[in-house]
Amino acid sequence: MAKSARQSGDNALATGLHVWLLRHLQVFFYSLGQLSRHPFATLMTAAVIGIALALPAGLHVVLKNAQQVSGGWDGAAKISLFLKKTVDDRQARALQAQIRKLPEVGQVRYISRDHALEEFQRLSGFGDALDALEDNPLPSVLVIQPGLAASQPAQTRQLLEKLRNYPEVDIANLDMQWVKRLYAIMDIVRRGVLVLAVLLAMAVLLVVGNTIRLAIQNRRDEIVVMKLIGGTDAFIRRPFLYTGFWYGLFGGLIAFVLVSLSFSVLSGPIERLAGLYQQQFVLSGLDFDSALLLFAASILLGLGGSWLAVGRHLRDIEPA
Amino acid sequence: MIRFTHASKRYPGGHDALTDVNFHMPPGQMAFLTGHSGAGKSTLLKLIALLERTSRGQVFVNGQNTAKVPRRRIPYFRREIGIIFQDHQLLFDRTVFDNVALPLIIAGYPHREIGRRVRAALDKVSLLGKEKVYPITLSGGEQQRVGIARAVVNKPALLLADEPTGNLDPALSREIMAIFTEFSQVGVTVLIASHDLALIESLPNRVLELKNGKLVADSGDDSEQVA
Ligand SMILES: Nc1ncnc2c1ncn2[C@@H]1O[C@H](COP(=O)(O)OP(=O)(O)O)[C@@H](O)[C@H]1O
Ligand SMILES: [Mg+2]
């Protein structure tokens, strides 16, 4: 047993590292060569992994787009500032200009008391009854659409508190019921995607595990010989782990292509639809970070699956 | 090199394959292990190579008590032993060269060293011209010689052979034995299990005979025996 240790001890550390790297590289490409001997079977396994991963990855992209769209609907959350009756028209307009300058604010619409009355008469049908009133009972109103910087519900609420503190403001109201609902729904969907992703990740783990298990069985004789002539567990394990790595990489590649293809098919019609709503909307596909995450996940799952199979089945094979 | 002291092996299920075996083989000796089919020859070799563990007693290999070798050290332990089988256990999807190189690759030898040693080992078994062919295209005797080359490429101090001539005709068997004799002459300890009595009797080597798991005869029983 001292022979191999002596061997590497003789070499300089750099050479030892070099040999180590070389051996890993050899196995790395050897396992790729083994896979390429059965291209169809390899493709099938990789495709299963790819499809399983494309689903959560695609949904993730859909969610991100939905978020972007709902970001465009931040106008849905409106803050109404009812001003004190003592605030006259000029002061109200000054306040409007002041609020408009806040970075969190998108648009500010001013409804004067007269205008409010007019509108109310028109919409309520109480026109004549209101004429009987001597005084205009309605306050002037500033209607504020939060800008992008305050599109999240919590940020909108902060803005509301800020606006409420202006001395001219009597009552500050936030109407965002349905935006809250939208966010709640999106939260559910996000969790759903997460659950789905976890389930499908487990499926990928099992698919890879099973494929590697079969590979181990097919190469039983070879493993026995390796063990007979002094192959360590790590040595015997290595090609199978690299095989898992390749499955993961190919699966990730297929998932990436599937998602990209699907979105390029969808982007035209969706942009047309957005155009019909006079909305500027560009469908975004997998961005760099998400693609990186996809590949990292698929490779890790490939390695993990083969690790499971190797851990369970390699020990069972002993020369006898 | 090899020492058995009251070594016994009982397989799961209660069958006693070996009972109270005692013998000692000094380094560089070549000996035959004989006996009827099922006598325990393979079992004895497996105890030496740690393919099985002793149930009782001790087996020492190169001064090391095999019972003390933990599972994870077994691969390193086996690298010191060349093992040859009747069914030669070659990998048929690899060339002769790759088969013989396997122990060196496993032990992490550098590339150049591997080529040199593999050629040296193939030379010793007179197969130098066949490095690029696949084992399936070789005759039985040639395949067995590839197995021997693989067993010795690592220059182990101990060679174990389990019925290495079982499938070969007498002339080829004699050839194989001559190769083993050469190794023992350069200091390698060689233990060969065989029931080919005609062949064994034609050679001057020590013979250990097993019968139903007991060592019943030992032609070379010298003073080295265990006290
Ligand atoms: N793995 C095993 N489990 C149970 N019994 C075994 C096992 N291997 C061998 N035996 C039994 O042990 C005895 C000795 O076997 P073996 O060492 O192979 O004999 P030989 O090699 O001399 O023919 C035989 O009776 C055989 O059936
Ligand atoms: Mg036998």
In a domain, A199, yes or no: yes
End position of a domain, from candidates A174, A194, A228: A174
CB nearest to B106's CB, from A22, A226, A320: A226
Closest approach atom of ligand 1 to CA B18: 14
Give all strands of the β-sheet with B16-25 in edge-to-edge order: B16-25, B2-10, B56-61, B64-65
Does ligand 1 come within 6 angstroms of the Cβ of B29?
no
Q: Do B193 and B42 touch, CB atoms closer than 8 A?
A: yes
| Nearest ligand atom owner, CA of B162 | 2
Q: Beta-carbon neighbour count of residue B121 at 10 Å?
A: 25
Q: Do B154 and A3 touch (CB under 8 A)?
A: yes
In a domain, A122, yes or no: yes
Band (pLDDT 50/70/90 cuts) for residue B226 is: very low
The 10s digit of each residue's pLDDT in B17-53 is 999 999 999 999 999 999 999 999 999 999 999 999 9
End position of a domain, from candidates A153, A174, A195: A174
Position A10 pLDDT exceeds 60: no
Please state, for a pLDDT cut of 90, what percent of chain B lies above it: 70
Please tell me whether residues A152 and A198 are part of one structural domain: no
Angle of helix A177-218 versus helix A288-313 axis, rounded to 10: 40
Q: Region B95-122: what's the mean pLDDT?
A: 92
Q: Do B80 and A3 touch (CB under 8 A)?
A: yes
Q: Contacts of residue A231 in chain B, CB cutoff 8 Å?
A: 75, 106
pLDDT for the residue A7: 47
Which of B8, B32, B36, B43 maximizes ligand 1 atoms within 8 Å of its Cβ, making it the mutation to test the pocket?
Answer: B43
| Cα–Cα distance for residue pair A265/A74, rounded to 1 Å | 28
In a domain, A250, yes or no: yes
**Mutating which of B72, B73, B77, B102 best tests the A interface, going by the most A Cβ atoms within 10 A?**
B102
Which of B8, B9, B11, B54 maximizes ligand 1 atoms within 8 Å of its Cβ, making it the mutation to test the pocket?
Answer: B11
Please tell me whether residues A37 and A98 are part of one structural domain: no
The 10s digit of each residue's pLDDT in A78-106 is 888 898 888 888 988 999 998 888 888 88
Closest CA to B102 of B161, B158, B153, B140: B153
Give chain A's end-to-end CA distance (angstroms, integer).
Answer: 22
Does ligand 1 come within 6 angstroms of the Cβ of B35?
yes
Q: Which of B 143-172 lie inside 8 A of A, CB atoms?
A: 150, 154
Q: Is residue B192 less than 8 Å (CB to CB) from chain A?
A: no
Q: Which of A119-123, A314-318, B219-223 has the lowest mean pLDDT?
A: B219-223
Q: Do B162 and B189 touch, CB atoms closer than 8 A?
A: no
pLDDT for the residue B36: 93
Please tell me whether residues A209 and A301 are part of one structural domain: yes
Please tell me whether residues A98 and A37 are part of one structural domain: no
User: Could you tell me the distance, in angstroms and rounded to a whole number, from the CA of residue B182 to the centre of ligand 2?
Assistant: 24
The 10s digit of each residue's pLDDT in B171-211 is 888 888 999 999 999 999 999 999 888 889 999 999 999 99
Residue B90's closest chain A neighbor by CA? A225
The 10s digit of each residue's pLDDT in A178-227 is 667 777 888 888 899 899 999 999 999 999 999 999 999 988 888 999 99
Please tell me whether residues A168 and A87 are part of one structural domain: yes
Please tell me whether residues A203 and A168 are part of one structural domain: no
The 10 Å CB-count burial string (b at 16+, else e) for A293-312 is: ebbebbbbbbbbbbbbbbee
| Cα–Cα distance for residue pair A171/A163, rounded to 1 Å | 10
The 10 Å CB-count burial string (b at 16+, else e) for A25-60 is: eebbeebbebbeeeeeebeebbbbbbebbbbbbbbb
CA distances from A237 to A31, A232, A278, B103 (A): 11, 8, 59, 16
Band (pLDDT 50/70/90 cuts) for residue B168 is: confident
Residue-range definition of the domain harbouring residue A102: 78-174
Q: State chain A's mean pLDDT as an integer.
A: 83
**Which residues from A are below 8 Å from B when comparing CB atoms?**
1, 3-4, 7-8, 11, 19, 22-23, 221-222, 224-233, 235, 318-320
Please tell me whether residues A106 and A253 are part of one structural domain: no
Topology at the third CATH level for domain B1-80+157-227: Rossmann fold (3.40.50)
pLDDT for the residue A6: 47
pLDDT for the residue A255: 95
Please tell me whether residues A142 and A278 are part of one structural domain: no
Q: Do A146 and A108 touch, CB atoms closer than 8 A?
A: no
Please tell me whether residues A163 and A239 are part of one structural domain: no
Please state, for a pLDDT cut of 90, what percent of chain A lies above it: 29
Cut 0.90: pTM above it: no
Position B93 pLDDT exceeds 60: yes
Domain borders along chain B are 1-80+157-227, 92-155
Position A176 pLDDT exceeds 80: no
User: Could you tell me the distance, in angstroms and rounded to a whole number, from the CA of residue B1 to the centre of ligand 1?
Assistant: 24
Domain of A141, CATH number, reads 3.30.70.3040
Position A65 pLDDT exceeds 90: no
Q: Contacts of residue B111 in chain A, CB cutoff 8 Å?
A: 22
Helix (H, G, I), strand (E, B) or coil at B194: coil
Please tell me whether residues A213 and A292 are part of one structural domain: yes
Closest approach atom of ligand 1 to CA B37: 23
Q: Is residue B98 less than 8 Å (CB to CB) from chain A?
A: no
Q: Do B176 and B148 touch, CB atoms closer than 8 A?
A: yes
Task: Classify strands A169-175 and A105-111 as parallel, antiparallel or unpaired.
Answer: unpaired
Please state, for a pLDDT cut of 70, what percent of chain A lies above it: 87
The 10s digit of each residue's pLDDT in B135-155 is 999 998 899 999 999 999 989
Please tell me whether residues A227 and A287 are part of one structural domain: yes
Q: Region A50-66: what's the mean pLDDT?
A: 89
User: How many structural domains does chain A have?
Assistant: 2
Residue B62's closest chain A neighbor by CA? A1
ipTM: 0.86
Please tell me whether residues A214 and A101 are part of one structural domain: no
End position of a domain, from candidates A139, A174, A209: A174
Q: What is the CA radius of gyration of chain B?
A: 17
